[in-house]
Amino acid sequence: MNLYKTFIKPVLFLFTPETAHKIVFTLLKIPGANFFLKIFYKTENNILEFRKNNFFVSNKIGLAAGLDKDGEVVNQLGNIGFGFVEIGTVTPLAQPGNPKPRLFRLKKDNALINRMGFNNKGAEKMKETLKKIKNKNTTIGINLGKNKITPIDNAYLDYKKSFEILFDYADYFAINVSSPNTPNLRELQDKKHLSKILEEIQKINLSKKTPKPVFLKIAPDLTFQQIDEIIKIVKDTKINGLIATNTTIERTNLKIDSEQITKYGNGGLSGNPLKNKSTEIIKYIKSKISDDIILIGVGGISSLEDVEEKIQAGADLVQLYTSFIYEGPGVVKKLKKQMITKNL
């Protein structure tokens, strides 16, 4: 019996998505939660280890950014079994994000629509939170974004500031220029802005005694020509890899009725409807890059077949988000066991 799907999920889904999120985080912070999670969910990782250059994870299944925006339950997520946990998106200054409601479940599609807008407590607060972590048990990635009020031409300064503040507390960084929920953010994927951001980040990074791995998270709504330009910038700036992909603004092939979709309004779509699109982009990117560039696949992963599809397309690692909401923490343990059996 799946405890989460039988008992916990039906109760959580009685609440709005954000209220359910708060309930879960409150439970994860209860003393003794780590002990419980370790017993029920953690599995041996070493067979699924991944190491390339200066990047290491204990297993190939990670949590995508957006769930733990401020790094509050990193060890709990590690005890659930994630080999790497990407926290954020974090901005230099705290910001409330977009007006509520801003997160919606598409149950028939195993999908979510969000227009959160980088709600977070800011880089300094995240630093203080991460300082307190004892016995860190997973690789921590920090996903960086820009504040809503920052002009596009000054966006690189936001990424630099957060990078400098949080440098000592991340195992890797992800540069997020692809969320559809901050006005004009996706313009940062253009050559002029993206080159500036990555060059400035790498200037700081390479001045350090031990540079940190840096990844770029891209949108699924790019043309192949735009992807080609991005790949060239990735190669020129010598960052470690790409995360493909963020949420999509498309609303095609959904089971939910169109009137309800219109009611939900704008936002990024994640989950099963994104699966094929992200896989197509992963396959295209892999055909254009060398093996030195690490590729993390994300978008609609909930089964072993989905993991295999992403890896066969060229992904080195995968990340979950929406399936974690629908399937619960047991999905991580299940996938890891199946991957070990299949030697993925």
CATH classification at residue 232:
3.20.20.70
pTM beyond cutoff 0.85: yes
Q: What is the pLDDT of residue 45?
A: 59
CA angle 187, 191, 196 (to 5 degrees): 90
- 94 touches 182 (CB < 8 A): no
Eight-state DSSP code of residue 51 = E
184 in the Ramachandran plot: left (φ > 0), alpha (ψ -120 to 50) or beta?
Answer: left
Q: Are 270 and 322 in contact (CB under 8 A)?
A: yes
Which distant-in-sequence residues (6+ apart) come within 8 Å of 123 by Cβ? 90, 91, 92, 161, 162, 165, 166
Structural domain span for residue 272: 3-342
CA-angle at 292, arms to 214 and 84, nearest 5°: 45
Helices (H), 167-254: 191-205, 224-237
What is the residue-level pLDDT of the chain in tens, covering all 344 positions?
788 999 999 999 999 999 999 999 999 999 999 999 988 887 665 678 999 999 999 999 999 999 999 999 999 999 999 999 999 999 999 999 999 999 999 999 999 999 999 999 999 999 999 999 999 999 999 999 999 999 999 999 999 999 999 999 999 999 999 999 999 999 999 999 999 999 999 999 999 999 999 999 999 999 999 999 999 999 999 999 999 999 999 999 899 999 999 999 999 999 999 999 999 999 999 999 999 999 999 999 999 999 999 999 999 999 999 999 999 999 999 999 999 999 88
Pick left, alpha or beta for residue 185 (phi over 0 → left; psi -120 to 50 → alpha; otherwise beta): alpha
Q: How far apart are CA 66 and CA 192, in angstroms?
A: 27
In this structure, the number of other CB atoms found within 10 A of the CB of residue 290 comes to 6
Domains in the chain, number = 1
- Residue 84's nearest CA partner among 168, 142, 163, 124 is 142
Separation between Cα atoms, residue 224 and residue 213, nearest integer Å: 25
Helices (H), 155-223: 155-166, 191-205
Whether 179 is a known active-site residue: answer yes
Residue 24 has a pLDDT of: 97
Query: Dihedrals φ, ψ of 98, to 5°?
Result: -80, 160
CA distance 44 to 42: 7
58, 179, 270, 278: the active-site residue: 179
Provide the token pair at 205: 């990074």
Residue found under tokens 């307190």? 132
Structure tokens, 312: 């066969």
Helix, strand, coil content of the chain in percent (nearest 5): 45, 15, 40
Q: What is the dihedral of CA 337, 293, 323, 37, to 10 degrees?
A: 50
